[in-house]
Structure 1
Amino acid sequence: MAEQENHDLAVRMAELARTAAGPRTVEEVLSDVTAAALDLIPGADTAGVLLIGKGGKWESIGETSDLPHQLDKLQMTLNEGPCVEAALSEVIVRTDDFRTEDRWPKYSPAVVDIGVLSGLSLKLYTASRTAGALNLFAFKPHAFDGEAETFGTVLAAHAAAAILASREGEELQSALSTRDRIGQAKGIIMERYNVDDIRAFEMLRKLSQDSNTRLVDIAQRVIDTRGDG
């Protein structure tokens, strides 16, 4: 049985890797990850990813139902709970029965009232600017075991890779946009003042230094004056 389950995990991870390689959003990839979690971890009834950014800004992504967002919101409001703990500090946080769980005295009875009795949260290593956790919940107690933790850890690593890849793509696009704007501004200055490429860049750089303004912002101002003659 264990051999078949390991094979299923390997097959599903290969599928996830192939789909992640295409032009897809991080939300689409994480939705595939949470769907895979439900398929591969028998005890899980619902799953989602919680991301926590600077200033406590948070979002629920890839939820397989409305419940993970509801539970995330509850934890962020109460400032306690397994998803927050996994995202910010612990690597794996497992609760076998929320009815007897005393680590979160406000959160635990609240989720029991909702009908959730056990949970498994796994930290995502997403970078210093963002904390995250892959979260699984079940309506019965003792739904998760060591094997569930192993499968969940593999899926969490895939989710983290998708988030990091998405961020790198956004940063690349930002860098390309910055380069393009500086290039446009240089072209305008070269044409307007009959100077070469090097002199145009020096003029931009001096304006940036003298006004204590980012070079890309100075470039945008030059572009905005293009129609002024």
Structure 2
Amino acid sequence: MTVQWREYAEQMALLARNLLAQESVQATLDEIATSAVRLVEGCDAAGILAVRKGRAVTLAACGDMVHESDRLQAEYGEGPCFDLARRKDGERVYRIADMREPQPTWQRFAAAARTLGVGSMTGVLLYTENDDFGALNLYGRRPGAFSKDIETAGWLLASHAAVALDSARTIDQLEHAMETRHAIGEAIGILRERHKLSEDDAFDVLRRISQHHNVKLRDVAQRVRTDRTDPA
């Protein structure tokens, strides 16, 4: 292993700890994009793009050109980030060494990207065994900013990022579930005290209101806690 790769591996270890220390899923996404610009040589901007129900969604961005690039790909329905995020052709990585060269697959996007000042691009899918989180896309202003080694470097970064995202989402879901449980428990206590109900009957009141009004049970419980009003 060369000194350069050893230093990069050390940076990846620090990145992994930093990502796991973030307080939310969005903070983790933002830190991934920021870290890509900081750690990857030649990277002037970075973003994470996902495709939700056929629509391109920018999950995080570091650099002005990211939002505009994502917007163009959504408008044209083509582009390397867009295709990678929706797993077209099963690809997990792409690299455009020189945006000035013909790009038959993405002609309209390539022409527009050049006007944005994009000289080269590369991207890696953020995925774990069970989930895809979107594509991590790196932008260089000069052609040739990313060498062949970027595929390995990007894969290492994306692997750490995907694991951190999976962990952040799991923690977020657990915290949400705990908050929901706490809100419902407190609302049940309020109804029991106010109407002299059993625990089961108080919960049944919340459940029936939730179903009748097509409102989430947690929201009904939160209304009881906040307003201290009769949910009926």
Report if TM-score (shorter chain) is over 0.5.
Answer: yes
Deviation track 1:32-56 (CA, whole Å, cap 9, x = no partner) reads 4345434544343332222343462
Match of residue 78 from structure 1: 76
Contact 1:53-1:129 at 8 Å conserved across structures: no
Number of equivalent positions: 227
Contact 1:34-1:47 at 8 Å conserved across structures: yes
Q: TM-score, normalised by structure 2?
A: 0.79
* 4+ aligned runs moved over 6 Å, structure 1: 126-130
- Is residue 49 of structure 1 aligned with residue 48 of structure 2? yes
For the residue of structure 2 that corresponds to 1:104, the secondary structure is helix
Show the 5 A alignment for 1:61-210: 61-63=60-62, 65-89=63-87, 90-98=91-99, 99-125=101-127, 131-205=133-207
Pick closer, same or farther for the CA change 1:179–1:70 going to 2, 3 Å.
same
1:76 deviation in Å?
1.5
Alignment RMSD, CA only?
3.2
Pick closer, same or farther for the CA change 1:91–1:26 going to 2, 3 Å.
same
In structure 1, stretches of 5+ residues that fail to align are: none
Deviation track 1:45-103 (CA, whole Å, cap 9, x = no partner) reads 3322223434625125141x212222122212221111111111121111122222111
Contact 2:121-2:137 at 8 Å conserved across structures: yes
State the alpha-carbon separation in 1 of the partners of residues 25 and 191 from structure 2.
Answer: 39
Contact 1:52-1:131 at 8 Å conserved across structures: no
Matched to 1:194, the amino acid is K
Contact 1:44-1:136 at 8 Å conserved across structures: yes
Percent sequence identity is 36
